[in-house]
Amino acid sequence: MGLIQLTDRICYLPHEPEVDRPMLAYVRGDKFTLAIDAGYSAGHVGDFYAALEDWGLPRPTFTAITHWHYDHTFGTHALESISIAHKRTNQFLAQQRELVKDPAYIRSLKQEDVHFRREYAEQEQVTVVLSDMEFEQELTLDLGGVTARLFHTAAPHSEDTVCICIPQEGVLFLGDSTSEDFFHDCYMDQDKLGQLMDIIRGTDCQTCILSHCEPLKKEALLTYLSTIRN
């Protein structure tokens, strides 16, 4: 599986449903480059870097994390870039860093989650680290000729949700923000979904990127979300 070109400055490694790997994206500035999300494992990061190398692209300067869930953060230790996450994301990761020290916890993850079992089939240990940088509300990166606006938002999926807008390319990265909260009985908070929809409407973008599906036009995503909002 290789990279897919989305815009002149953005490409991505597609999601892999069989192991629930999210897509990993790459934004190319004139001075710096940015990856979106830190991957499920060192293997996931390695596949992403190999795909970048195939295209003659340099390793990312920065990596922005959309939320703390395993498939988006457990590859952080293998990054060769400066990782950036919300303060709450690092708090969640600090908890996970302690939990993974217990082999019983790893066994329970493998037992409960078939995708985790597949991703870590050959591993008995997991390395969890916090991000290099953290922020609370908003952070803008000037990559040279293109900017990335990272901002925290209410979302039903996770309380530490971060979206990344690349205004010059008309692209909004949403992570898993529109999904239900899998760690709380798949609860869908309708109020938070409504707030998120307002954020999407108010963002100057044409394309929305969710981590486990193909890119969507903004209006198509909003139309879909309106069907699941009570």
181: which DSSP letter?
A: B
Q: Averaged over 165-178, what is the pLDDT?
A: 97
| Contact predicate 86/162, CB 8 Å | yes
Residue 149's DSSP bridge partners are: 140, 165
pLDDT (tens digit per residue) in 107-120:
999 999 999 999 99
Q: What is the pLDDT of residue 67?
A: 97
pLDDT (tens digit per residue) in 185-219:
888 899 999 999 999 999 999 999 999 999 999 99
CATH number for the domain spanning 51: value is 3.60.15.10
| Contact predicate 1/15, CB 8 Å | no
What total of structural domains would you count in the chain?
A: 1
> Could you tell me the CA-to-CA distances from 192 to 20, 96, 195 in Å, in that order?
24, 25, 5
Query: Which residue segment(s) compose the domain that 19 sits in?
Result: 4-228
pLDDT (tens digit per residue) in 100-147:
999 999 999 999 999 999 999 988 889 999 999 999 999 999 999 999
pLDDT (tens digit per residue) in 36-91:
999 999 999 999 999 999 999 999 999 999 999 999 999 999 999 999 999 999 99
Residue 210's DSSP bridge partners are: 175
pTM of the model as a whole: 0.95
Q: What is the pLDDT of residue 181?
A: 81
CB atoms within 10 A of CB 144: 12
